[in-house]
Amino acid sequence: GEARGEDYVGKVAVAAVVLNRVKSPQFPNTIKEVIYQPKAFTCVEDGQINLKPNLEAYLAVADAILGNDPTKGCLFYMNPRTATSRWMRRRISAENATVIGNHVFSP
C-alpha cells in the first residue's frame, strides 16, 4: 500500500526501508512491529495495507529480502507531494536525500 503507484525500484526501496528499520536499534526488531508501529506508515493508518498486493509488490519485497537496497540503508522516506508531517519534512533534508520515484529517502 505504501509504494502503490511507484515503479519496481520504488517498491523495492520502500521494502528495504522496512528491513533497514528492523536492523536498526532505533526501531522494533520484527517486520510486523515496524510496519504496525503507531503513525509509522500512512498505509496502515488509512487501511491501504489491507489491499491485495500484485505480483510486482511480492517480487519487490523478495528482492529487498535478498539484499537489494536502492536506498543504501535509509530509515525514512516520504512523498513530498502528499506528506503532511512537519517532523518528516524537517527530518529529510536536501543534503542527505535520495530520490527514488515519488519518494525522498533519508538515513
Residues 6+ apart with CB under 8 A from 105: 13, 17, 71, 74, 76, 77, 92, 97, 98, 99
Give residue 98's pLDDT: 87
Give residue 82's pLDDT: 72
Task: Divide the 107 residues of the chain into consecutive groups of 10 and give the mean pLDDT of each group.
Answer: 90 97 97 94 89 95 98 89 67 75 89
Q: Do the Cβ atoms of 51 and 67 come closer than 8 Å? A: no
76-78, strands of its sheet edge to edge: 76-78, 103-106, 98-100
Give residue 87's pLDDT: 65
Q: Which parts of 6-83 fold into alpha helices (H)?
A: 8-23, 31-35, 42-45, 55-65
Residue 20: alpha-carbon gap to chain centroid: 9
Q: Do the Cβ atoms of 69 and 30 come closer than 8 Å? A: no
Report the distance separating Cα 107 and Cα 99, nearest Å. 12
Give residue 83's pLDDT: 66
> Would you give the end-to-end CA distance of the chain in angstroms?
22
Q: What's this model's pTM, rounded to 2 decimal places?
A: 0.89
Give residue 78's pLDDT: 83
Give residue 43's pLDDT: 87
